[in-house]
Chain A
Amino acid sequence: MQSIVGTMVIAQEGRFQLLDRDGVGHQFLLHYGSAVEPDQLPPLLNRRVRVSYRSAVTAHIIGHAAVHIDLLED
């Protein structure tokens, strides 16, 4: 499992977008096994988080399946 640090800029249903240090946006959906619920995403908007995810390239989607989200204290 990989992880990435960034600022959450969009949260829509169970999908969110992370903006990394280089200004690149990364698309995520919540993995079916993740304990994170969709309504837990909006409070994380504009906060820096670390997301652990599974890459979804093999699923023919440009996006990742987030398993765990850590809020980073800034």
Chain B
Amino acid sequence: MTEQSAWDGRTYYDEPQLRPAPFNNALVGSYIFLAGLSGAAQLLATVVDSAHGPAAPPTVRRGRYLALAAPVLGTLCLILDLHTPRRFYNMLRLIKATSPMSLGSWGLVGFSVTSAVTASLQFAADRLRFSWLRSLARLTQIPAALTGAFMGTYTASLLSATSTPLWAAAPKSLAVRFASSAAASAAVALGLGERNDRRRRDLDSIAVAALAVELAATLASEHAECQAGIGDPSHSQTARPIAIPLVLLLTSLVLPGRLGRTLSAVGSLALLGGGLAMRIRVLHRGDQSARQPYRSLRFAQLDNLPRT
């Protein structure tokens, strides 16, 4: 490469060098949250079902119904976000491995179909008491769980496979953050309606573990952004929305009876609210980084090229 002098830090009249994603952050953030919640709920329901045998407890039932949130509400959010909504079906014209949006559209279709079938079988089994309905649901839940795992995390690769500096700087830690947040959200969502105390505490324990992973990944993201030269020192509060539910849930695990249950509920709601807010905040901060030419030009420097 022709040697040029290093960048002197000046921009072109401070005009943006990149374009931010034209998404409605509330709609897309909600979809990402719901996709994670539903996908992980289906996966978690499958795990509980595998552990407790064919007598599917209420937890599994709730998980299978919760898995319908993304197919129903999330799909609506996505269609409304399109700038020519009446052509939404064009998403299924082809499948493209380089486009997480293409993979995700098909993933959403696969997850929706398999989850709808599983939930319908659950609904029928509860009313008709044919044992083969339950057995069939145990089969269909497997592809639903696998596509659910994909749903919980592909949205991070959707953001990272762009030129937006904040999203592109730390693709792996962003994926870990979205995945662990999804798992934590599903665990507490199932725990909120859980009457069995021991199972609720198990679900809360899973949420605590997932939150710990999310906290570590968030710190890793911030470190990667600083290494890439695009760190935003004014924004160092990202640990708090994770630490608060983490502490609440951890405390609820050691406290007995009514107090423990109340703390668990409060911590669960804080986690769910925090999860949705995190997605919207990531979108908003990403758009900001795309609009700031100093950061986007700093990101596109030779020291940030992937090592081959």
Contact = CB atoms under 8 A, between A and B. Distances in A.
Interface in A25-55: 32-33
A32 B83 CA distance: 7
A32 B84 CA distance: 5
**Range, interface on chain A:** under 10
A4 to B, nearest CB: 24
A33 B85 CA distance: 8
Contacts of B83: 32
A32 B85 CA distance: 8
**Range, interface on chain B:** under 10
Interface string B79-120: 000011010000000000000000000000000000000000
Contacts, number: 3
Contacts of A32: 83-84
A38 to B, nearest CB: 12
A33 B86 CA distance: 8
Nearest to A33: B86
Contacts of B86: 33
B86 to A, nearest CB: 8
A22 B84 CA distance: 34
A32 B86 CA distance: 9
Interface string B52-84: 000000000000000000000000000000011
Nearest to A31: B84
A1 B128 CA distance: 56
A58 B260 CA distance: 56
Nearest to A35: B86
Interface string A8-35: 0000000000000000000000001100
A59 to B, nearest CB: 13
Contacts of A33: 86
Nearest to B85: A32
A33 B84 CA distance: 7
A8 to B, nearest CB: 22
A45 B86 CA distance: 26
Nearest to A32: B84
B85 to A, nearest CB: 8
A33 B83 CA distance: 9
A16 to B, nearest CB: 18
B132 to A, nearest CB: 48
Interface string B217-242: 00000000000000000000000000
B93 to A, nearest CB: 16
A67 to B, nearest CB: 13
A7 to B, nearest CB: 28
Contacts of B84: 32
A13 to B, nearest CB: 14
3 contacts: A32-B83, A32-B84, A33-B86
